[in-house]
Structure 1
């Protein structure tokens, strides 16, 4: 009987110690701000700033592109002619076109600003620019 009383007493003390430990950890967490909106470690804030800087840098990168292949002449097949649009997030860049004939190929480059061109564009160049425009990612 004495052993049973001692066992119950030891178990009660263990439960009490566990409760005190949990309460202490919660108080310590509150003092540190764990769980609050500003509770992120400083390195996370630094990483967020770096990601924002990288996103700003890539806005000027020529990362939106599209290729349209076609037959420039009716008597030729194989879609050897092509138009390639290389643009940044603002629609600034270049459209390159290569027209392949039987005996020669000609290549043209036209500057694009704000998704438009001062020079007249072929339907295939317009199509390449439009495909590249649709590839612009949405803001996150």
Structure 2
């Protein structure tokens, strides 16, 4: 019985809180009174400038990644060899390749500028760069 009374009281208090919140929102002055960008508060303009600066700063972040796994030799299975492209928005970065054989593994790094490389790329490295392209 006490639990039912408390439940009803909680529902009534919640409804009262909703009504008071709605009244408070009606009485609150509106900060943006016009239409368009001119009507936005100054802090919104500042936030837009910060977002634009962050986007410009993020352009040269190495954020485009792609991994291609493959069998480099016919007698070694399991796709243990791989090529990894790590590039920024302009296609600048690096391609890392690890060739796994029966008795050894070799690792290579090739720099990439503008989505191309001065060194000759393997088909798997070209594929990794192509998959990393947005």
TM range (shorter): 0.7 to 0.9
**Larger Rg computed on CA atoms:** 1
Which residue is 1:73 aligned to? Answer: 73
Question: Which residue of structure 2 lines up, in the alignment, with residue 88 of structure 1?
Answer: 88
For normalisation by structure 2, the TM-score amounts to 0.75
RMSD of the TM alignment (CA)? Answer: 1.6
> Could you say what secondary structure the match of 1:108 adopts?
strand
Matches within 5 A, 1:1-140: 34-37=33-36, 38-133=38-133, 136=134
Aligned residues: 106
Question: 1 CA distance for matches of 2:39 and 2:74?
Answer: 67
> In structure 2, how many angstroms separate the alpha carbons of the residues matched to 1:103 and 1:77?
13
- Cα displacement (A) at 1:35: 2.9
Query: Partner of 1:3 in structure 2?
Result: none
Deviations 1:66-109 (A, max 9, x none): 00000000011100000000000000000000000011000000
**For structure 1, which runs of at least 5 residues remain unmatched after alignment?**
1-24
Cα distance between partner residues in 2 of 1:106 and 1:95 = 14
What is the CA-CA distance between 1:50 and the residue it aligns to?
Answer: 0.6
